[in-house]
Amino acid sequence: MNAYPLLDKINNPEDIKKYSLSELEELARELRSFIIDTVAANGGHLAPSLGTVELTLALYSVFRFPQDKLVWDVGHQAYSHKILTGRRERFHTLRQLGGITGFPNRFESKYDAFGVGHASTSISAALGMAVSRDLCGRNNEVIAVIGDGALTGGESFEALNQAGDLGKKLIVILNDNEMSIDKNVGGMSEYLSRIRMAPQYNKAKKDVGNLLMSIPHIGDKAYRTAQIVKDSVRSALVPGSVFEEIGFHYIGPIDGHDISLLQEMFCRAKELEGPVLIHIHTKKGKGFLPAEKNPNKFHGIGVFDRHTGECPKKQGGAPSYTSVFSKALIELADKNTDITAITAAMPSGTGLKAFGEVYPARFFDVGIAEEHAVTLAAGMAADGRHPVVALYSTFAQRAYDQLMHDVCLQNLPVTLCLDRAGLVGADGPTHHGAFDLSYLRHMPNMTIFVPKDEAELRDMLATAVSMDSPTAVRYPRGAGFGVPMREEFSEVPVGKAEILKASDEDTVAFLAVGPMVHRAEQAAAILTDEGISASVVNMRFVKPLDTGVIEQMASRCLLVTVEENSLVGGFGSGVAEYLMDKGLSDKVKLLRLGIPDKFIEQGTPNELLELCGLTPEQMAAAVKERLK
Ligand SMILES: Cc1ncc(C[n+]2csc(CCOP(=O)(O)OP(=O)(O)O)c2C)c(N)n1
Ligand SMILES: CC(=O)[C@@H](O)[C@H](O)COP(=O)(O)O
Ligand SMILES: [Mg+2]
């Protein structure tokens, strides 16, 4: 018996318009089940996508896509959108190498109006499409769907600000489920709660409106007069609707799981002139009890039992870099009361949640606001603190100028801890931490630590927070190598490498940073077995470089730099620049191994390392090729 009879009949999103309300409600059940089945088997962003099933069906039953433009914010909640737009058959390849991507992607479908993955971009992009539409004289709708978490991102307010001023037709749907990845934070989140809690205002608004319109002849005039009254009532009952104050029509809050109500509000929004914000209230994880109960766990999840929601028990294994960072920072903060910790809406992901439980007064979750996080830290540092800002490498790209202008130029003691540095895997090109060595290396006063394993992460973190200047420590997603870790911290001499294996007779020297050190050791072993002797150096720092060791190793025939960062402007570039500047580049060959100058797709980390030529076997082969 076909589990998805209605879903299987949809060959074109326009088919959805033919369904009655009761069929749409049945279709919602089928969609939900299909998403749970798929994510249980593959992993993915379950809770966000379960929360937008009815929203998506209502959107597709009222608007004409792709003529109308639909921009999802972050896009992790768009699985229904993908399934309904021709990707149902391939949806089981979600987030796999060569498969359906985890976020809307313009190269994947004409229904994906804009590529997303980083938060708070949807209103800006949608407004851009509305401006373009009007310049071309078209009349399509442009819709942005943004979550309450993404609304804490500064770019959202920049876009709302301009949209309210331009007055162009634009529909912004605020999907308010009171959650970011963790519980949502900030004044805007509190404001939304107050609006949601003001049913008496909404009921009064509706009752008064209906009463006035029912009065013959004067009803319409009285209704318009009442609109003026409404605004004063609203400001009395519900603190001024900030959205209306900046030029939006505001509709809501409405039940984001009531398809009929959503359809009615979308039709009303289509009739309104100018920008409209529709505030819907949804439940993250809706329809799957384990996810409803724990939307944080099911925000982004690995494989799980389809019925119980249980994930496979991890058998022992090495600790994650994140957990090692989290524990080490608490130990350091025990001794150093100047240490504060800042996250941008990722307390669980960065491990700072534990810090916040121990030191709540020294922990700050700023929402999805990486730019603000860094300059907040700079302010703290300027006043004598030593803030530690923990961001994912890819999201730290948002704070480039804050790092340059507010931290490095002022030479302030801020420590940037970049988690998810390198190839992250299933999240793909929007999330790989492929560029931090490049974007940090040219910042004056910055010291860049790259631990080779979890033990070195502890010591590097301790050294970084002891310094009175900008520092960055970058480490990958996932587990370490299970190396022994001492309780006490050891200082890492800044700018000094660690020679792991060397003989002056060696033909080759690997200069590696981060976990690539262990892979370089494996490549060296392969080469040694084939009669090519290789030195291996853990360079430890991308800035400052240990130039003494570079010159010492330049006596080999071939220097090989290895990094899990873009080759453009990364660690290898720094070594090349040094060799060139010192006139050594004609004395020694240089082979740079790293992430090529392109966006790397999704897949397992090992698949992606292979794609980049970074497995030990490939590294050994590349060395042999260059030695020819
Ligand atoms: C710039 C940036 N910072 C952090 C993230 C990580 N992130 C992904 S989804 C999310 C929470 C989004 O909350 P919301 O917009 O409310 O969507 P919901 O998951 O609640 O549906 C965060 C912080 C991101 N994608 N982009
Ligand atoms: C959608 C988003 O940006 C986050 O949910 C991200 O996918 C989390 O990544 P990790 O799974 O590495 O914490
Ligand atoms: Mg949310």
**How sure is the predictor about 210, in pLDDT bands with cuts at 50, 70 and 90?**
confident
- C-beta of 432 in contact with ligand 2 (< 6 A): no
Residue 8 in marked binding region: no
* Cα 90 from Cα 527, distance rounded (Å): 42
First to last CA, the chain: 62
Q: What is the CATH number of the domain that holds 421?
A: 3.40.50.970
CA distances 22 to 16, 283, 345, Å, are 12, 21, 38
Same domain, 223 and 342: no
Q: Tokens 């895997």 — which residue?
A: 425
Residue 481 lies in a domain: no
In a domain, 595, yes or no: yes
Q: Above pLDDT 90, what percent of the chain?
A: 91
Burial class (CB within 10 angstroms; exposed 0-12, middle 13-18, buried 19+) of 475: buried
Round to whole Å and give the CA distance between 23 and 4: 12
CA of 595 to the centre of ligand 2 (A): 21
- Tell which residue, 213, 87, 35, 68, has the closest CA to residue 143: 68
Reading the block at residue 296, the tokens are 């944080």
Residue carrying structure tokens 């090729």: 625
Q: Is 23 an active-site residue?
A: no
Distance separating alpha carbons of residues 265 and 254, to the nearest angstrom:
9
Same-domain pairing of 21 and 160:
yes
> Is residue 301 in some structural domain?
no
117 among annotated binding-site residues:
yes
The mean pLDDT value for 169-177 works out to 98
Query: What is the predicted pLDDT for the residue at 239?
Result: 41
Last residue of a domain, one of 190, 210, 237: 237
Structural tokens at position 214: 């029912």
CATH number of the CATH domain containing 526: 3.40.50.920
Task: Specify whether 286 is located in the same domain as 220.
Answer: no
Nearest-CA residue for ligand 1 atom 11 is 180
170 and 73 share a domain? yes
Q: What is the rounded average pLDDT of the residues 214-218?
A: 71
From 87, 133, 398, 543, the catalytic residue = 398
Residue among 181, 419, 423 whose CB has most ligand 2 atoms within 8 A, to mutate: 181
Vertex 23, ends 18 and 27: CA angle to 5°? 105
Give the mean pLDDT of 269-285: 97
State mean pLDDT over 36-48. Answer: 97
Mean pLDDT computed over 123-146: 98
Domain range holding 623? Answer: 498-627
Cα-based angle 190, 374, 480 (whole degrees, multiple of 5): 100
Question: What's the pLDDT at 218?
Answer: 66
Q: What does the pLDDT read at residue 26?
A: 98
8 A C-beta contact, residue 101 and residue 95: yes
pLDDT at 340: 99
pLDDT for residue 1: 67
The atom of ligand 1 lying closest to the CA of 146 is 15
Residues 451 and 524 in one domain: no
pLDDT band at 197 (very low <50, low <70, confident <90, very high): confident
My answer on whether 288 and 352 are in the same domain is no
Q: How confident is the model at residue 235 (pLDDT cuts 50, 70, 90)?
A: low
**CA dihedral angle for residue 383, residue 388, residue 389, residue 390, rounded to 10 degrees:** -170
Within this chain, do residues 108 and 73 fall inside the same structural domain, yes or no? Answer: yes
Q: Which two tokens stand for residue 440?
A: 């940090």
Q: Are residues 525 and 445 in the same domain?
A: no
Q: Three-state SS for 397?
A: helix
Same domain, 330 and 457: yes
Q: Which ligand is nearest to the CA of 103?
A: 2
Residues 216 and 275 grouped into a single domain: no
Exposure pattern of 257-272 as b/e (b: 16+ CB <10 Å)? Answer: bebeebbebbeebeee
Residues framing ligand 1 (Cβ under 6 A): 48, 51, 73-74, 76-77, 118-119, 147-150, 175, 177, 179-181, 284, 299, 344-346, 368, 370, 395, 398
Please say whether the beta carbons of 25 and 77 come within 8 A.
no
Alpha-carbon distance values, 583 to 512, 518, 559, 578, 587 (Å): 22, 30, 15, 8, 8
Ligand closest to 344 (CA) is 1
What value does the mean pLDDT of the chain take?
Answer: 95
H or E stretch at 439:
helix 436-441
Is residue 102 one of the residues assigned to a domain? yes
* Partners of 589 in beta bridges: 558
Active-site residue identified among 95, 133, 234, 284: 284
In the reported structure, the alpha carbon of residue 117 is separated from the centroid of ligand 2 by a whole-number distance in angstroms of 9
Residue in 54, 370, 563, 564 annotated catalytic: 370
What DSSP designation does 436 have?
H
- 474 catalytic? Reply is no
Q: Is 148 annotated as a binding residue?
A: yes
The total of structural domains in the chain comes to 4
Do strands 541-543 and 447-449 pair parallel, antiparallel, or not at all (unpaired)?
Answer: antiparallel
> Has residue 23 been placed in a domain?
yes
- Higher per-residue confidence, 224 vs 353: 353
Would 463 be classed as within a structural domain? yes
Atom of ligand 2 nearest to the CA of 181: 5
**Which-ligand-closest: CA of 605?**
2
pLDDT tens, 566-603? 999 999 999 999 999 999 999 999 999 999 999 999 99
Structural domain includes residue 483:
no
- Would you say residue 493 lies in a domain? no
* 284 part of the active site: yes
Choose the residue to mutate in 79, 431, 432 for probing ligand 2, maximizing ligand atoms within 8 Å of C-beta: 431
182 touches ligand 2 (CB under 6 Å): no
The complex scores an ipTM of 0.99
> In this structure, are 157 and 279 located in the same domain?
yes
Give mean pLDDT, residues 135-155: 98
If asked whether residues 376 and 334 sit together in one domain, one would say yes
Q: Is 520 annotated as a binding residue?
A: no
Query: 230, exposed or middle or buried, with CB in 10 Å at 0-12, 13-18, 19+?
Result: middle
